[in-house]
Amino acid sequence: MSPIGILKNKESSAGVFESSRIPLGQYIFERLASSGTRTIFGVPGDFNLSLLEHIYNPEVALKGIKWIGTCNELNAAYAADGYSRYTNKIGCLITTLGVGELSALNGIAGAFAEDVKILHIVGVAPSQFYEGRVQNCHNVHHLVPAASDSNFCAPDHRVYHDMVDKRISCSSAFLDDLSSACDEIDTVISDIYRNSKPGYLFVPADYADKLVDARNMEIRPTITLQDVVSGISVNNHKCQELAEYILELMYDSSRPAIIADVLCDRYGLTSSLRELVNQTHVWNFASAMGKSILDESNPGFRGVYNGSESQEQVVTDIQSCDFLLHVGIVRNEMNTGHYSYKFSNYSKIVELHPEYVNFIDTDTGKTRCMTGQYFFKVLDTVKRMVDPTKLHLKYQETAVSEAQETCGPPHSPVTHSYLQTHFPKLLSSGDVFVVDTGSFQFGVRDYRFPSDLKYISQSFYLSIGMALPCALGVGLGMQDYPSDHIISSALVPKNYQPRLILCEGDGAAQMTIQELTSFLRYNVSLDLFIWNNGGYTVERAIKGPNRSYNDIMSWEWTEILRVFGDPKLEKSVSHKVSSTGQMAKLLETFKRANQQNKLVRLVEVILGVMDFPEQLKSMAVACRH
Amino acid sequence: MSPIGILKNKESSAGVFESSRIPLGQYIFERLASSGTRTIFGVPGDFNLSLLEHIYNPEVALKGIKWIGTCNELNAAYAADGYSRYTNKIGCLITTLGVGELSALNGIAGAFAEDVKILHIVGVAPSQFYEGRVQNCHNVHHLVPAASDSNFCAPDHRVYHDMVDKRISCSSAFLDDLSSACDEIDTVISDIYRNSKPGYLFVPADYADKLVDARNMEIRPTITLQDVVSGISVNNHKCQELAEYILELMYDSSRPAIIADVLCDRYGLTSSLRELVNQTHVWNFASAMGKSILDESNPGFRGVYNGSESQEQVVTDIQSCDFLLHVGIVRNEMNTGHYSYKFSNYSKIVELHPEYVNFIDTDTGKTRCMTGQYFFKVLDTVKRMVDPTKLHLKYQETAVSEAQETCGPPHSPVTHSYLQTHFPKLLSSGDVFVVDTGSFQFGVRDYRFPSDLKYISQSFYLSIGMALPCALGVGLGMQDYPSDHIISSALVPKNYQPRLILCEGDGAAQMTIQELTSFLRYNVSLDLFIWNNGGYTVERAIKGPNRSYNDIMSWEWTEILRVFGDPKLEKSVSHKVSSTGQMAKLLETFKRANQQNKLVRLVEVILGVMDFPEQLKSMAVACRH
Q: Identify which of B46, B99, B332 has the shortest CB distance to residue A139.
A: B332
Q: Would an 8 Å CB–CB cutoff place B401 in contact with chain A?
A: no
CB atoms < 10 A from the CB of A410, how many?
Answer: 12
Q: Would an 8 Å CB–CB cutoff place B522 in contact with chain A?
A: no
**Spatial CA neighbour of B509 closest among B493, B533, B486, B485:** B533
Decide if A99 and B113 are in contact by the 8 Å CB cutoff. no
The stretch B302-325 carries a mean pLDDT of 96
Verify that B376 and B311 share a domain, yes or no: yes
Decide if B517 and A510 are in contact by the 8 Å CB cutoff. yes
CB atoms < 10 A from the CB of B396, how many?
Answer: 10
B68-103 tens-digit pLDDT: 999 999 999 999 999 999 999 999 999 999 999 999
Decide if B49 and A517 are in contact by the 8 Å CB cutoff. no
- From first CA to last CA, the distance across chain B in angstroms is 61
Verify that B286 and B146 share a domain, yes or no: no
**Spatial CA neighbour of A321 closest among A341, A300, A340, A348:** A348
The stretch B416-437 carries a mean pLDDT of 96
Decide if B462 and A141 are in contact by the 8 Å CB cutoff. yes
pLDDT for residue A625: 77
**Spatial CA neighbour of B105 closest among B129, B128, B77, B127:** B77
pLDDT for residue A5: 39
Does A213 or B591 have the greater pLDDT score?
A213
Verify that A507 and A380 share a domain, yes or no: no
The stretch A149-173 carries a mean pLDDT of 94
Q: Which of residues 74-93 of B touch A (CB under 8 A)?
A: 74
- For residue A246, tell me if it sits in a domain: yes
The stretch B333-346 carries a mean pLDDT of 93
In degrees, to the nearest 5, what angle opens at C-alpha B570 toward C-alphas B593 and A579? 165
Distance from CA of A399 to the nearest CA of B (A): 34
Strands A39-42, B348-352: pairing is unpaired
Please report which confidence band the pLDDT of residue B132 belongs to, taking 50, 70 and 90 as the band edges: confident
Q: Would an 8 Å CB–CB cutoff place A551 in contact with chain B?
A: yes
Q: Which CATH number covers residue A280?
A: 3.40.50.1220
Decide if A511 and B514 are in contact by the 8 Å CB cutoff. yes
B40-76 tens-digit pLDDT: 999 999 999 999 999 999 999 999 999 999 999 999 9
Q: Tell me the C-alpha distance between A428 and B457, whole Å.
A: 51
pLDDT for residue A401: 63
Q: Which of residues 454-473 of A touch B (CB under 8 A)?
A: 460-465
Q: Tell me the C-alpha distance between B21 and B29, whole Å.
A: 14
Which of A575-579, B18-22, B170-174, B254-258 has the weakest average pLDDT? B18-22
The stretch B481-486 carries a mean pLDDT of 89
Verify that B240 and B225 share a domain, yes or no: no
Indicate if the alpha-carbon torsion angle B246, B248, B251, B252 is positive or negative: negative
The stretch B256-263 carries a mean pLDDT of 98
Q: Would an 8 Å CB–CB cutoff place B98 in contact with chain A?
A: yes
CB atoms < 10 A from the CB of B157, how many?
Answer: 18
pLDDT for residue B401: 63
pLDDT for residue B402: 62
B351-384 tens-digit pLDDT: 999 999 999 998 888 999 999 999 999 999 999 9
Verify that A203 and A252 share a domain, yes or no: no
A41-94 tens-digit pLDDT: 999 999 999 999 999 999 999 999 999 999 999 999 999 999 999 999 999 999
Cα radius of gyration (chain B): 26
- Relative orientation angle of helices A178-195 and A24-34, to the nearest 10 degrees: 20
Does B196 or A625 have the greater pLDDT score?
B196
Residue B13 has pLDDT above 70, yes or no: no
Helix (H) or strand (E) holding B503: strand B500-505
Please report which confidence band the pLDDT of residue B620 belongs to, taking 50, 70 and 90 as the band edges: confident
Q: Which of residues 489-518 of A touch B (CB under 8 A)?
A: 510-514, 517-518
Please report which confidence band the pLDDT of residue A413 belongs to, taking 50, 70 and 90 as the band edges: very high
Please report which confidence band the pLDDT of residue B209 belongs to, taking 50, 70 and 90 as the band edges: very high
Verify that A313 and A172 share a domain, yes or no: no
Q: Would an 8 Å CB–CB cutoff place B448 in contact with chain A?
A: no
pLDDT, mean over chain A: 93
pLDDT for residue B362: 87
Decide if A536 and B563 are in contact by the 8 Å CB cutoff. no
Cα radius of gyration (chain A): 26
**Spatial CA neighbour of A561 closest among A576, A548, A581:** A576
Decide if A44 and B518 are in contact by the 8 Å CB cutoff. no
B520-561 tens-digit pLDDT: 999 999 999 999 999 999 999 999 999 999 999 999 999 999
Residue B14 has pLDDT above 60, yes or no: no
Q: Tell me the C-alpha distance between B15 and B388, whole Å.
A: 62
pLDDT for residue B496: 86
- For residue A411, tell me if it sits in a domain: no
pLDDT for residue A135: 72
The range of the structural domain enclosing residue B317 comes to: 236-390
Please report which confidence band the pLDDT of residue B11 belongs to, taking 50, 70 and 90 as the band edges: very low
Chain A and chain B share a number of CB contacts under 8 A equal to 261
Beta-bridge partners for A432: A454, A500
Verify that B246 and B373 share a domain, yes or no: yes
Decide if B564 and A548 are in contact by the 8 Å CB cutoff. no
Under 8 Å between Cβ of A132 and A476? no
Q: Would an 8 Å CB–CB cutoff place A565 in contact with chain B?
A: yes
Strands B21-23, B211-213: pairing is antiparallel
pLDDT for residue B152: 84
Contacts of B126 in chain A (CB under 8 A): 625
CA A578 to chain centre: 32
Q: Would an 8 Å CB–CB cutoff place B565 in contact with chain A?
A: yes
Q: Is B46 annotated as a binding residue?
A: yes
pLDDT for residue A19: 57
Please report which confidence band the pLDDT of residue A496 belongs to, taking 50, 70 and 90 as the band edges: confident
The stretch A523-536 carries a mean pLDDT of 97
B138-160 tens-digit pLDDT: 999 999 999 888 888 889 999 99
Q: Tell me the C-alpha distance between A312 and A400, whole Å.
A: 10
Distance from CA of B430 to the nearest CA of A (A): 30
Interface mutation target, options B68, B101, B139, B460, chain A, most CBs of A under 10 Å: B139
pLDDT for residue A118: 98
- For residue A408, tell me if it sits in a domain: no
Decide if A52 and B547 are in contact by the 8 Å CB cutoff. yes
pLDDT for residue B403: 58
Of B230, B250, B283, at which residue does a domain stop? B230
CA A546 to chain centre: 34
Verify that A347 and A425 share a domain, yes or no: no
Please name the residue ranges forming H helices in B283-390. 312-319, 375-385
Q: Tell me the C-alpha distance between B92 and B57, whole Å.
A: 18
Does B488 or B563 have the greater pLDDT score?
B563
Residues 6+ apart with CB under 8 A from A621: none
Residue A6 has pLDDT above 50, yes or no: no
- For residue B1, tell me if it sits in a domain: no
Convert A67-98 to b/e letters by CB count within 10 Å (16 or more is b).
bbbbbbbbbbbbbbbbbbbbbbbbbbbbbbbb
Query: Mind spelling out the 3-state secondary structure of A478-529?
Result: HHHCCCCCCCCHHHCCCCCCCCEEEEEEHHHHHHHHHHHHHHHHCCCCEEEE
Q: Would an 8 Å CB–CB cutoff place A344 in contact with chain B?
A: no
Decide if A52 and B544 are in contact by the 8 Å CB cutoff. yes
B285-296 tens-digit pLDDT: 999 999 999 999
Decide if A44 and B548 are in contact by the 8 Å CB cutoff. no
Q: Which of residues 579-608 of B touch A (CB under 8 A)?
A: none
In degrees, to the nearest 5, what angle opens at C-alpha A441 toward C-alphas A440 and A442? 90
Q: Where on the phi/psi map is residue B537: left (φ > 0), alpha (ψ -120 to 50), or beta?
A: alpha
DSSP B407-447: --STTSBP-HHHHHHHGGGG--TT-EEEE-SSHHHHHHTT-
Verify that A145 and A182 share a domain, yes or no: yes
Distance from CA of B207 to the nearest CA of A (A): 9
Contacts of A460 in chain B (CB under 8 A): 139, 141
Contacts of A56 in chain B (CB under 8 A): 547
The stretch A541-549 carries a mean pLDDT of 94
Verify that A383 and A481 share a domain, yes or no: no
pLDDT, mean over chain B: 93
- For residue A398, tell me if it sits in a domain: no
The stretch B405-431 carries a mean pLDDT of 90
Q: Tell me the C-alpha distance between A567 and A562, whole Å.
A: 4
The stretch B437-449 carries a mean pLDDT of 96
Residue B10 has pLDDT above 70, yes or no: no
Q: Tell me the C-alpha distance between A120 and B153, whole Å.
A: 26
Please name the residue ranges forming H helices in A522-608. 537-542, 560-563, 580-591
Distance from CA of A43 to the nearest CA of B (A): 7
**Residue A168 buriedness (CB in 10 A; 0-12 / 13-18 / 19+):** buried
Q: Tell me the C-alpha distance between B391 and B253, whole Å.
A: 8
Strands A432-435, A454-457: pairing is parallel
Residue A557 has pLDDT above 80, yes or no: yes
Decide if B49 and A170 are in contact by the 8 Å CB cutoff. no
Contacts of A621 in chain B (CB under 8 A): none
- From first CA to last CA, the distance across chain A in angstroms is 61
B574-585 tens-digit pLDDT: 999 999 999 999
pLDDT for residue B16: 40
Q: Identify which of A46, A99, A330 has the shortest CB distance to residue B542.
A: A46
**Spatial CA neighbour of B354 closest among B368, B340, B371, B331:** B371
Q: Tell me the C-alpha distance between B350 and B348, whole Å.
A: 7
pLDDT for residue A620: 86
Q: Identify which of B50, B460, B543 has the shortest CB distance to residue A53.
A: B543
pLDDT for residue B400: 63
Of B390, B405, B432, at which residue does a domain stop? B390
Distances (CA, A) of A54 to A7, A145, A189, A221, B539: 12, 31, 19, 19, 16
Q: Tell me the C-alpha distance between B418 and B226, whole Å.
A: 43
Instruction: Give me the amino acid identity at A606.
Output: I
Distance from CA of B542 to the nearest CA of A (A): 8
Please report which confidence band the pLDDT of residue B399 belongs to, taking 50, 70 and 90 as the band edges: low
A319-354 tens-digit pLDDT: 999 999 999 999 999 999 999 999 998 899 999 999
Decide if A106 and B102 are in contact by the 8 Å CB cutoff. yes
Residue A406 has pLDDT above 70, yes or no: no
Binding positions of A for pyruvate are 46, 142, 193, 539
Q: Is B193 annotated as a binding residue?
A: yes
Of B203, B230, B257, at which residue does a domain stop? B230
CB atoms < 10 A from the CB of B392, how many?
Answer: 9
Q: Would an 8 Å CB–CB cutoff place B137 in contact with chain A?
A: yes
- For residue B499, tell me if it sits in a domain: yes
pLDDT for residue A248: 97
pLDDT for residue B19: 57
**Spatial CA neighbour of B86 closest among B440, B504, B457:** B457
Verify that B373 and B421 share a domain, yes or no: no
Number of residues assigned to chain A: 625
- 3-state helix, strand, coil split of chain A in percent (to 5) is 40, 20, 45
Q: Identify which of B106, B149, B510 has the shortest CB distance to residue A514.
A: B510
Helix (H, G, I), strand (E, B) or coil at B334: coil
Does A458 or B409 have the greater pLDDT score?
A458
- For residue A336, tell me if it sits in a domain: yes
- For residue B2, tell me if it sits in a domain: no
Q: Which of residues 12-51 of A touch B (CB under 8 A)?
A: 44-47, 49-50
Please report which confidence band the pLDDT of residue A618 belongs to, taking 50, 70 and 90 as the band edges: confident
Q: How many domains does chain A have?
A: 3
Contacts of A600 in chain B (CB under 8 A): none
Verify that B150 and B255 share a domain, yes or no: no
Q: Which CATH number covers residue B187?
A: 3.40.50.970
Decide if B465 and A167 are in contact by the 8 Å CB cutoff. no
